[in-house]
């Protein structure tokens, strides 16, 4: 069955530290990949997406993610986090073969000022 794994459940960083959140998926076909973010008190919103082309995609607020097909990974990165990046981050994968949107269990990021 298709699945998405986010191995870091809780991450605590100081401001200006670099961030990398892991996302691995288990489907071998053509996939679309997403990162969503949920800031405290707000609804989930799209951070960035990968459909095809350049495997390094840039999103809002300085975030980027790299699709590595051979590793079934789509890790989220940010060179220097800010206190306002404190949120929960979800990786999601879709595929035309399964007609499902599969989300990971999320990573709670806390950035200390």
Smaller CB distance to another protein: residue 17 or 103? 103
Does position 96 interact with another protein (CB under 8 A)? The reply is yes
Closest distance of CB 59 from another protein, Å: 11
Burial of 70-82, coded b for 16+ CB within 10 Å and e otherwise, reads eebbbbbebeebe
Contact assessment for residue 28 and residue 21, using Cβ atoms and an 8 Å cutoff? no
Per the rule left: phi > 0, alpha: psi between -120 and 50, beta: everything else, 82 is beta
Closest distance of CB 26 from another protein, Å: 15
CA angle 32, 64, 113 (to 5 degrees): 130
What values do phi and psi take at 70, rounded to 5?
-65, -25
Contact assessment for residue 19 and residue 76, using Cβ atoms and an 8 Å cutoff? yes
Residues 18-77 that bind another protein (CB under 8 A): 32, 34, 36, 43-46, 49
Does position 80 interact with another protein (CB under 8 A)? The reply is no
Smaller CB distance to another protein: residue 59 or 81? 59
Does position 8 interact with another protein (CB under 8 A)? The reply is no
Closest distance of CB 94 from another protein, Å: 4
Q: Which residues are at the interface with another protein (CB under 8 A)?
A: 32, 34, 36, 43-46, 49, 90, 94, 96, 98-106
């Amino acid at each position: 069955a298709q699945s998405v794994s986010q191995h870091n459940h809780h991450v605590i960083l100081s401001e200006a530290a670099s961030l990398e959140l892991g996302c691995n998926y288990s489907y071998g076909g053509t996939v679309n990949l997403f990162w969503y973010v949920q800031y405290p008190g707000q609804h989930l919103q799209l951070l960035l997406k990968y459909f095809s082309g350049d495997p390094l995609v840039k999103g809002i607020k300085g975030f980027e993610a790299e699709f590595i097909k051979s590793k079934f990974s789509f890790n989220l990165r940010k060179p220097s986090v800010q206190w306002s990046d404190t949120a929960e981050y979800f990786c999601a994968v879709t595929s035309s073969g399964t007609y499902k949107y599969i989300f990971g269990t999320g990573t709670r990021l806390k950035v200390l000022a």
